[in-house]
């Protein structure tokens, strides 16, 4: 198998910067190995000024597709041939897929989150409160709205970014209503909220970092989801568990966006448990 791979790999990969900080390679390669798939996932460091050449290189080598991380998620759009529905609304691409010889941009961040959420609750008709308005929040907000979420409250520190997201959701998705709440002091989650999401970077590489959130407003009827994959047991995850909430950690989103990407590139559905186990080895569970 290894020799075969040396001669004829179906290449997938990532255009990242810096390449060293990408756990996706470990997760995807674990799935390829487990299922004996004739694919490889290469992590490459691409500087912004080399993005056009990198995409041309992928075309020349007939890559099945590739992920893009910051800062390439928007810039890549002008170098590919089309966009999937949610990527077009979000305005960012994290996964490029070769379809009939064309490179099509998808956004699997939001799809990965949605899949994790749907494992515990269908967001259709539900009320969501989401902290954050950056790239992850945009992807999650759009995907949940396209899946039928009724009401999305965005809570964000910067009003400009928050307003931009709320306007996008109201104008470009079928959500009934999206509103912005300023984030000054501990935010109290309104009664009747079904799903609370941390889509900020608070908690990344800091297990003690906590959101300005009135924990007394969380109830056991709520689903609380965190996007932070590392460490997975964030302060929010621990606090929400203590309140009896149903909790989703950031590993689920990462694994599910990986499953979706692999499905797009190879047509095969891989075992998420193998991918999660590899991430847990890297991050701790």
Q: How far is the CB of 135 from ligand NDP (least distance, A)?
A: 3
Catalytic residue among 73, 111, 126, 127: 73
Give which of 228, 226, 241 is closest to 195, Cα–Cα. Answer: 226
Shortest Å, Cβ 262 to ligand NDP: 14
CA-closest candidate to residue 105, choices 69, 136, 141, 67: 67
Q: Report the nearest approach of ligand NDP to the CB of residue 194 (Å).
A: 21
| C-alpha span between 118 and 55 (Å, rounded) | 33
Active site residue 73: yes
Distance, C-alpha 224 to centroid of its chain: 16
Nearer to ligand NDP, 81 or 239 (CB): 239
Q: Which is nearer to ligand NDP, 57 or 134 (CB)?
A: 134
Measured CA to CA, the distance from residue 101 to residue 229 in angstroms comes to: 34
Could you give the C-alpha distances from 219 to 4, 5, 193, 206, in angstroms and in order?
54, 51, 9, 25
Asked whether 14 and 21 are in contact (CB, 8 A), the reply is: no
Strands (DSSP E) found in the chain: 10-16, 39-45, 65-68, 82-83, 95-99, 102-106, 127-131, 151-156, 177-182, 195-198, 223-226, 246-248
**Close Cβ partners of 4 (under 8 Å, ≥ 6 residues apart):** 38
Determine the Cα–Cα distance for residues 285 and 216; give it in Å rounded to an integer. 26
Q: From the CB of 9, what's the least distance to ligand NDP, in Å?
A: 25
Query: By beta-carbon distance, which residue lies closest to ligand NDP?
Result: 134
Long-range CB pairs of 77-83 (<8 Å, 24+ gap) are 77/105, 79/51, 79/52, 79/55, 79/103, 80/55, 80/104, 80/105
In a 13 Å sphere around the CA of 76, the CA atoms on its Cβ side amount to 34
CB of 145 to ligand NDP, least distance (A): 17
Find the shortest distance in angstroms from Cβ 86 to ligand NDP: 14
Please identify, using beta-carbon distances, which residue of 126 and 276 lies nearer to ligand NDP: 276
Binding stretches for ligand NDP (CB under 6 A): 109, 112, 132-137, 156-158, 161, 200-202, 204, 227-229, 250, 253-254, 257
Q: Which residues are catalytic?
A: 73
């Amino acid at each position: 198998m290894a020799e075969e791979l040396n001669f004829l790999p179906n290449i997938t990969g990532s255009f990242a910067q810096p390449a060293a900080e990408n756990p996706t390679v470990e997760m995807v390669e674990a799935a390829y190995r487990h299922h004996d798939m004739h694919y490889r996932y290469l992590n490459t460091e691409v500087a912004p000024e080399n993005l056009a050449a990198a995409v041309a290189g992928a075309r020349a080598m007939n890559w099945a597709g590739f992920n893009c991380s910051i800062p390439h998620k928007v810039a890549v759009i002008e170098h590919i041939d089309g966009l999937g529905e949610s990527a077009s609304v979000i305005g960012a691409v994290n996964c490029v897929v070769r379809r009939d010889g064309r490179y099509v941009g998808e956004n699997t961040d939001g799809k990965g989150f949605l899949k994790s959420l749907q494992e515990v609750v269908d967001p259709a008709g539900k009320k969501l409160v989401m902290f954050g308005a950056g790239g992850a929040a945009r992807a999650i907000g759009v995907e949940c709205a396209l899946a039928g979420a009724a009401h999305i409250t965005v809570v964000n520190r910067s009003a400009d970014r928050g307003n931009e997201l709320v306007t996008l959701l109201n104008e470009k998705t079928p959500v009934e209503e999206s509103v912005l709440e300023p984030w000054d002091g501990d935010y109290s989650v309104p009664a009747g909220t079904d799903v609370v999401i941390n889509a900020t970077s608070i908690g990344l590489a800091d297990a003690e970092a906590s959101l300005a959130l009135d924990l007394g407003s969380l109830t056991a009827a709520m689903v609380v989801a965190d996007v932070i994959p590392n460490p997975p047991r964030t302060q929010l995850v621990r606090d929400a568990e203590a309140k009896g909430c149903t909790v989703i950690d950031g590993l689920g989103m990462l694994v599910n966006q990986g499953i979706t990407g692999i499905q797009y590139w190879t047509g095969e559905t891989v075992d998420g448990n193998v991918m999660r186990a590899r991430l847990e080895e890297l991050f701790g569970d």
